[in-house]
Amino acid sequence: MSDGARPALSVVVPVFNEARSLADLHHRLALTLKELGRPYEIIFVDDGSRDGSADALRALRAQDTLVKVIRFNRNYGQHAAVLAGMERAKGEIVVTLDADLQNPPEEIPRLLAALTDGVDVVAGWRVNRRDPWPRRAASWLVNRLTSAIVGVHLRDYGCMLRAYRRPVVDQIVACQGVSQFIPALAASFATSMAEVPVIHMKREHGRSRYGFFRLLRLNFDLLTGFSLLPIQVVSLVGIAVSVLGLGFALFLGLRRLLVGPEVEGVFTLFAILFFFVGLQILALGLIGEYVGRIYQEVRRRPRYMISEVLE
């Protein structure tokens, strides 16, 4: 691609502590993109790495003029890094790819082949995943919840290997909300989506940042960031509990009139009380989550800070 020419394809790669994978990733990615015969650019976004990834990225930039590097001042998360790359991507098609090589860059042509007329987003679906079972279980829950919330059923919302057309990328970048789960945003804006199976390799270096509890936290973020369903469900449960409580009070009143004072069932009452208290705490937590999101929105603070750009 000549200087100043608009690329047809932009590849955005979020990086966090992947220094040992970057050279191999760049070599394989560049070969794959050259074989496509389209003008391209590669955008690495360093999400506050602390393992020498910054130096490795500077070296890649020095040897390949088609490489761009964006560095955050600290760690903001994978989706913030992808968003920063999308904001600076110039291609008509934007492909996102993890830096850990679990999804081989050689799979990119399969995504582009599926990006036919009428399809705005092609998502990878990791077959024969090489992750521990707790992570697969949490991912299964994320996929089911996201499909229900967004209304677009996909097998694998967690796969970063995806291809987006420019109009969808522009909509994602223009979205100023706190929630930054890129696949869910894309599913909301895309007219049509396709899903293709892709290879999933064993991780060679480092470890994943998405453990079981982080994926569960992502579930909570999805529920409160893309839907009012949780707070509506709590309201319905509150109504049901009120009706049951009234009926239980009437039952105890009639029993006292017919049987007289008694002490049996005290522990049962305590159990019911604790259950209701737990529901109240859950409701307060959900309300607090929504209020916290409103607070984050009105502050309008930057979603990330860039310390260095090499292009």
- Tell me the two tokens of residue 48: 């506050």
Give residue-wise pLDDT tens across range 207-238. 666 555 666 666 666 666 666 677 777 777 77
CA distance 90 to 234: 44
CA distance 301 to 293: 12
pTM: 0.77
Hunting for tokens 């707790």 — which residue is that? 134
Give residue-wise pLDDT tens across range 103-117. 999 999 999 999 988
Phi and psi at 199, nearest 5°, equal: -70, 145
Q: Which of 67-76, 182-191, 258-267 has the lowest mean pLDDT?
A: 258-267
Neighbours of 185 (CB within 10 A): 22
Question: Within 13 Å of residue 56, how many CA atoms lie on the same side as its CB?
Answer: 22
Confidence of residue 2 (pLDDT cuts 50, 70, 90): very low
Hunting for tokens 């309201």 — which residue is that? 235
β-sheet bridge partners, residue 100? none
Percent with pLDDT over 70 in the chain: 83
